[in-house]
Chains A and B, each alone.
Chain A
Amino acid sequence: MNCPMEHRKPETLVAYAAGELDGETAASIERHLRVCPGCRLWVAEQAALWKTLDIWEAPAVSADFDRRLYRRVAGEVRLSWWERLTRTLRPMPLRQILPLAATACLLLIASFLVQQPDQLAPPHPGAGLVRADQVERTLDDLELLRQFGAGNQVEAPHADTM
């Protein structure tokens, strides 16, 4: 009872049992079945399964199916842009939404920077003056400290005399 279908694809038997093969291929299978009890049994069982599966009938479609659908189709026209966007994104997994959100953020930042070019422009000349003032003040402080130090040195001999 070993199946000689090892010489060809066993899937061919499914197609044969379903009546899907062309005349020539079906004839070659029939020739094979005459000499192969294993395949004959397989085809008989497949035919029985086919009949068994036929007992499962689907129920009738609801009478208002079309009406419900057309009502939803009509509702499509009235959707706002935000509802359309959220509906598009809803079935997307997080790993697809995150890159989109990151890109949107980058675009927002880029557009913000483009609209405010002065923020990136080099500092205006006034900025240099501020720094000169600071340097001048620092030099004054140093001069004061130097004078203070010099004063200490003048007073030092008094200490020696004591």
Chain B
Amino acid sequence: MGVAAAALDYDAELMLRVKDGDGVSFGLLLEKHRVPVIHFLYRLVQESAVAEELAQEVFLRVYRSRSSYEPTAKFTTWLFRIATHLGLNWLRDGKHERGLERLDYNSTDVPIHQISDRRASVEQQLVSDAKLAEVRLAIAALPEKQRAAVLMHKYEEMEYSQIARVLGCSESAVKSLLFRAYETLRARLAHMGR
């Protein structure tokens, strides 16, 4: 990405202002990217408290790197690169195994509206929880690069080129990763779509 293209990236502009000591711009970046980063990390590590802790580290690293920041890539690419690196490192450390063992889906990780929706019957709630558990396990079972690619593509709606930069591979490699990942998910979750 050249300097001209970087000029179009408003986030990069904000980050350059952060570099100049503008704290308000850091706040704007946080406001814009807080939720996507936390949600991405949540789906990657599947523990909301861990996801928030890792997201704190992501934004802290952004802040620490302000003095050396150069807009050589899109800001979100850089941001998700840090997030993916931290999330996958956490998974590689094996800490997730403890977490997956206690995935009971009745924890605080379940969206609040699902708990408070009094119209839904208990039976419907149980079916919904079971489906959710299957989706989570199916995604957790994907190889780490495929998992990260699916989460960025499906839930964060990122472009192939951006996912490729985040994962450090070619665009065609990302397409291939996604194709294989969706094939696996379709096979595993086919009964749910009928």
Interfacial residues, chain A to chain B (CB-CB below 8 A): 9-11, 14-15, 18, 45-46, 48-53, 55-62, 65-66, 68-69, 72-73, 76
Contact = CB atoms under 8 A, between A and B. Distances in A.
A14 B42 CA distance: 24
B56 A68 contact: yes
Interface stretch (B5-13, B94-102, B103-111): B103-111
Contacts of B155: 53, 58
Contact of B56 (A11, A55, A69): A69
Contact of B135 (A18, A52, A58): A52
A46 B186 contact: yes
B179 A10 contact: yes
Interface in B30-57: 30, 34-35, 38-39, 42-43, 48, 52, 55-56
A66 B37 CA distance: 13
Contacts of A49: 182, 185-186, 189, 193
Interface of B: 26, 30, 34-35, 38-39, 42-43, 48, 52, 55-56, 59-60, 63-64, 108-112, 114, 128, 131-132, 135-136, 139, 153-155, 172, 175-176, 178-179, 182, 185-186, 189-190, 192-194
A103 B39 CA distance: 42
A48 B191 CA distance: 10
Contacts of B189: 49, 52
B157 to A, nearest CB: 9
Contacts of A46: 182, 186
A156 B137 CA distance: 110
A53 B185 contact: yes
A57 B38 CA distance: 12
Contacts of B176: 11
